[in-house]
Structure formats: C-alpha cells, structure tokens
Amino acid sequence: MAFPEFRARRLRDHVVFREMVAEASLSARHLVQPLFVKEDLKGRRPIETMPGQAQLGMEEMVAEAKRARDAGVRAVILFGIPREKDAVGTAATDPEGIVQQAVRRLKTDVPDLAVIVDVCLCEYTDHGHCGLLATVGGRKTVDNDATLEVLAEMAVTCAEAGADMVAPSDMMDGRVGAIRDALDAAGLVHVPILSYAAKYASSFYGPFREAAESPPQFGDRRGYQMDLRNGDEAVREAAADLEEGADILMVKPALGYGDIIRRLKEAFGVPVAAYNVSGEYAMVEAAARQGWISREAVILEILLCLRRAGADILITYWATEVALKLQSGAG
C-alpha cells in the first residue's frame, strides 16, 4: 500500500481534525486514587516527600474518599499503617485491623466507590520486608511459601470486610493462586484479583516508603521484585499470574515502563493497570515548585502517554485532582 504525498500536517493543523483523530483519551473512569490510612491518627499528617498527599486518620480518609467520589473517581486503593508492627505482620490479618476497618467504613459511608486493598506485608512487619523472614542456604531472606498463607488470610479478611478487589503487591511466587483459592474457599468467588504482575525493584518507591512507613530495615527488595533490566520476564510473570487466576495485570512503576505495559497488553489482551508511583509524583511536584515545568500539562501528558502505551487503569496520586479537572471540561 502506498501513501503518495503523505502530509501529516493536513490533519494536525486544524483543531477539529486533530481532536477527531486523537487515539488516546483520559476519563475519570480509568483513575484510581491511593489513600494511606493510619491507625490512631487524628486528622492528617502531610507526607513531606509527596507534597499534597497525607497520611489520613479514619475520618479524614472517609472525607478524602468522598472528595474523590464527588470528583468522579470510581475507585480507591487503600494502604493501612498499623499501630503495631511485628516480625510476622500480625496486624495485616486482623479482622479488626486498620485496613479492614477502613474498608468497612468506606462500604458504609461511600458505598458507590469501589474499594481495592493493597495486599502486602511490608507496612505490617517491623523489618519492613514484604513477607516473613527465614534463613535459606545461610542467607536471611523472605520465606516465599510461609508468606503465601498470611497474604491469603489478609486478602480474605479484607474481602470479608467488603473490599471489592484485592491487589497483591508482594511479588511472592504463587501468591495469586493462593489468594484465589482462599477467596473461593471463603465463598468470595466474585472478588477479582488485580495482580502487581510486573512490579520492579525500583528506586521510584522512595517517597511511598515514608508514606507507608515501610522501608526495609536491612537489604532491599531485589530478592523478590523484578530486575529492571528484564522485559521477557514480565511476560512470564504475567502468564503465571493469569494461570493462577489474576483478573487484571499491573505494571509498576509506570513512566519508564511503557514497553512493558504494551507487551502485556499485546501478549494477553487482558485489562492492564499502570501504577504511576510516588517517586514519579514527587519529581513532577518538585520541578513544578521550582517553576521548571508546567505542572498540569505534564500531569496530563504522563497519564495520556500511559493510556497510549496500553494501560486501561491508572493508579495515580493525582486521580482526584485530574478527575475534577475533567469534570470541568479540560483534558
């Protein structure tokens, strides 16, 4: 097929035609707002490394969820920060734990908002790793299979509290299957799993670890999160998660990972989520504060590019703000 005399500007120069042929689009239905709920906190505590974001007490969390809902956001993802942490993350599986309570409050007070819970142990363990520790081959590491049971129990307690979706972010092998089996056994067959299928060991999570009070106390997460140099492995991880019962695949971080989003979308044709993480947020906010970039334009550009890469769902700290803007006709 030949296209003689292709002149790209014919469709680019007139605003109507430019809009008519634009491929990627952004609307509030794609956005998920993360919320940090902290046990015993009254009010809100700003997160220094994420200007504009805060740890929230229960009442503030409900207020923030209502704000998101009123802006047009349809779902939130919850992170709980418990009063007490221990080596085995006991607070994560407590039916009266902070995140389980938060789910119940949201389902009562903001019932039209879908509630997703991040299922992981790093906010609940005193050592800050995403699972239980063991010494294997003389090395202190995270015990994969022992962790699966705890994750499955956490998922079930959250779903029993009313969570509409669970999102395992720990990167243990076999966790999607373990969680699916446990949910099914508890009669929770209707609860979907949003798997952090391709979660990379990234330096872009730094600000989140302040927000969730979850930095590893020794070592790092490279023993379970993916090596950022690998792409084929993401496809393999995703295939395994789908076989185990994942309903949605997540790629995290988002900005440098558009190729992975695209590959998963093309390989499997299933819904894909992108997590626009804390460090990506912080970079934009910092540069904007210096007056070095045009903040709102950059935010829209990032989110639209993720949509173009193939993401159906965008988890972003800007969700409420962007939804509000879309309501008023921008975008």
130 binds ligand PBG (CB under 6 A): yes
**Range list of H helices, the chain:** 9-12, 15-20, 58-71, 98-109, 144-161, 175-185, 206-211, 232-244, 258-268, 278-289, 295-309, 319-327
For residue 122, state whether it binds ligand PBG (rule: CB under 6 A): yes
Binding flag, residue 205, ligand PBG (CB under 6 A): yes
Restricting to residues 216-255, name those near ligand PBG by CB under 6 A: 221
Stretch in the footprint of ligand PBG (CB under 6 A) among 51-59, 147-155, 201-209, 287-295: 201-209
Q: Whose Cβ is closer to ligand PBG: residue 35's or residue 277's? A: 277
- Select the span of 15-23, 40-48, 82-90, 115-123 touching ligand PBG (CB under 6 A): 115-123
Residues recognised as catalytic: 199, 252
Name which position in 277, 314, 322, 323 contacts ligand PBG (CB under 6 A).
277
Contacts with ligand PBG by CB under 6 A: the residue count is 11
Minimum distance between the CB of residue 328 and ligand PBG, rounded to whole angstroms? 26
* Burial (Cβ within 10 Å: 0-12, 13-18, ≥19) of residue 146: middle
Looking at residue 1, what DSSP letter applies?
-
Nearer to ligand PBG, 12 or 316 (CB): 316
- SS3 percent helix, strand, coil of the chain, rounded to 5, is 45, 20, 35
Residue located via tokens 């003689």: 4
Binding ligand PBG (rule: CB under 6 A), the pick from 36, 124, 200, 208 is 208
Is there binding between residue 116 and ligand PBG (CB under 6 A)? Answer: no
Nearest-angstrom CA–CA distance, 50 and 279: 8
Query: What 3-state DSSP class applies to 55?
Result: strand
Q: How far is the CB of 280 from ligand PBG (least distance, A)?
A: 8
How far is the CA of 41 from the CAs of 2, 14, 93, 116, 188, in angstroms? 65, 53, 20, 21, 31
Write down the least CB distance from residue 131 to ligand PBG, Å.
Answer: 10
Between the alpha carbon of residue 69 and those of residues 38, 84, 297, the distances in Å are 21, 31, 23
If one asks whether residue 285 binds ligand PBG (CB under 6 A), the answer comes out as no
Options 49, 100, 147, 169; binder of ligand PBG; rule CB under 6 A: 169
Q: What is the DSSP string of 250-287?
A: EEES-GGGHHHHHHHHHHH-S-EEEEE-HHHHHHHHHH
- Does 31 participate in binding ligand PBG (rule CB under 6 A)? no
Residues that bind ligand PBG (CB under 6 A): 118, 120, 122, 130, 169, 205, 208-209, 221, 277-278
